[in-house]
Amino acid sequence: MTTATPLALYGPDFAADPAAHYERLRVHGPLAPVELAPGVEALLVIDYQAALDLLRDTHTFSKDPRAWQATVPQDSPILPMLAYRPTALFSDGETHARYRAAITDSLGLIEPHVLQRQVAVAAQRLIRDFAATGTADLVTQYARQLPLHVFNSWFGVPEEDSERLVNGIAGMVNSAANAAAAYADLVAVVTRLVADRRARPRRDLISWFLAHPAGLENDEVIRQITLTMSAGHEPSTNLIGNALLHMLTDPRYAGSLYGGAMTAHEAINEVLWQDPPMANFSAHYPRYDTDFHGRRLRAGQLVLVSYAAANLQSRPEVGHDLPRSGENAHLAWAAGPHGCPARQPALLIAITAIERLTSHLTDMELTCSPTDLIWRPGPFHRALTALPVRFTPLTGL
């Protein structure tokens, strides 16, 4: 084994080629030392079986970061993503079950056919805005905007707060110098919305959270809503963008833009295996000193799961048919009791968004080489800054 020098998972080098970084880490075995931000180290699980074992082991590992958090500078840009808050993400046992029930039950009230119609209407509106120009940035003009339109309907976010919501989520996930301020602004938006719904309930997610039998207090509602927004918007945006890039650059999808055999669903599934929108997350902390897959862990030590690295190790070969049962074998949704509770709505949003776009703009092509595209820095996400395309201008939508 080599000297355990942590490998930085931030900055443009990692963003440009994370797969190469994961391969460099494999010399350390199933768990490898990484640096998430200057001075903030962690162990990253890069082995598929070790990742599953960690995600399912609630006896050895806790999701509560408070002991670890006390060792990190309070101005670290990593804390808005990892610091404790009273949410399902940072809780165990009965508390986690209570918070998660409020989330899953509320999301369960969103009917799929209504959601699909909302996505289709929002997609049509966005496509109409740029279809006649013959060019577009599919990230800023489409993938980033579409989930926001849907979430505005779900949560009743006023139009004047939409950009603040998106910037707050993106700034938090980027884990840059403005991360704390971005998260604080996001919380401020949600706090005002919760106060409004407490006084004037509507048929929306915030009102459903407030009315849930779990009896969440105001701060608990604010934190679950903030979690649901951030866990929904950023990954959905990245999933749509990454899947569109995959379809525009993989020759097997060349006919898809003309109604070919390779579908949006298949593109999304391949991206979830190869380039998941959240690449590294699922923070866990050993409850006591323990050995795990050949590595000695200290109580309270930060251990993250690399969905991307684990998937790269176990993904089906490109071009091979993937059995339907294998579609959920990837770790892009995590696994175990903290697995993503919104995978079906997220898939429906992404599939509908891509189908609507490619059914209208059938001859899209990149306006630059794929190697010239820039990926947003940050240890957690896999996100394009832009996806510029050209196409035959289309009017009359």
Span 216-241, pLDDT tens digits: 999 999 999 999 988 888 899 999 99
Q: Considering the entire predicted model, what is its pTM?
A: 0.91
Instruction: Say how many C-beta atoms besides its own lie within 10 A of residue 160's C-beta.
Output: 7
**338 sits in which H/E element:** none
* Lowest-confidence region among 84-88, 179-183, 255-259: 255-259
Cβ(140)–Cβ(391) below 8 Å: no
- % of the chain exceeding 90 in pLDDT: 74
> Does residue 2 register a pLDDT over 80?
no
Cβ(146)–Cβ(349) below 8 Å: yes
In 3D, which of 366, 290, 326 has the Cα closest to residue 54? Answer: 290
> Does residue 323 register a pLDDT over 50?
no
| pLDDT computed for residue 273 by the predictor | 95
pLDDT tier for residue 328 given thresholds of 50, 70 and 90: low
| pLDDT computed for residue 171 by the predictor | 76
In 3D, which of 282, 281, 299 has the Cα closest to residue 290? Answer: 299
Cβ(78)–Cβ(69) below 8 Å: no
165 burial via Cβ count (<10 Å: 0-12, 13-18, 19+): buried
In the block, tokens 């301020």 appear at 181
Mean pLDDT of 115-142: 96
Cβ(144)–Cβ(159) below 8 Å: no
Tell me which CATH code domain 7-390 carries: 1.10.630.10
* Lowest-confidence region among 2-16, 171-185, 282-296, 380-394: 171-185
Q: How far apart, in whole angstroms, are the C-alpha atoms of residue 292 and residue 233?
A: 34
DSSP class of 381: B
Instruction: Please count the residues of the chain.
Output: 397
Residue, of 174 and 180, whose pLDDT is higher: 180
Mean pLDDT of 30-42: 95
Burial call 186-197: b when 16+ CB within 10 Å, e when fewer: bbebbbebbeeb
Mean pLDDT of 357-362: 93
| pLDDT computed for residue 253 by the predictor | 79
Side-chain half-sphere of 237: how many Cα atoms within 13 Å?
32
| pLDDT computed for residue 322 by the predictor | 46
| pLDDT computed for residue 173 by the predictor | 75
> Does residue 178 register a pLDDT over 90?
no
Mean pLDDT of 327-349: 90
* Lowest-confidence region among 24-28, 139-143, 149-153: 149-153
Mean pLDDT of 24-31: 96
**368 sits in which H/E element:** none
> Does residue 145 register a pLDDT over 70?
yes
| pLDDT computed for residue 277 by the predictor | 95
Give how far Cα 291 sits from Cα of 26, 55, 203, 267, Å: 18, 16, 49, 38
| pLDDT computed for residue 318 by the predictor | 54
pLDDT tens for each residue of 370-387 = 999 999 999 999 999 999
| pLDDT computed for residue 327 by the predictor | 57
Q: Tell me what the pLDDT averaged over the chain comes to.
A: 90
Kindly calculate the radius of gyration of the chain based on its CA atoms and give it in whole angstroms.
21
Q: How far apart, in whole angstroms, are the C-alpha atoms of residue 253 and residue 261?
A: 8
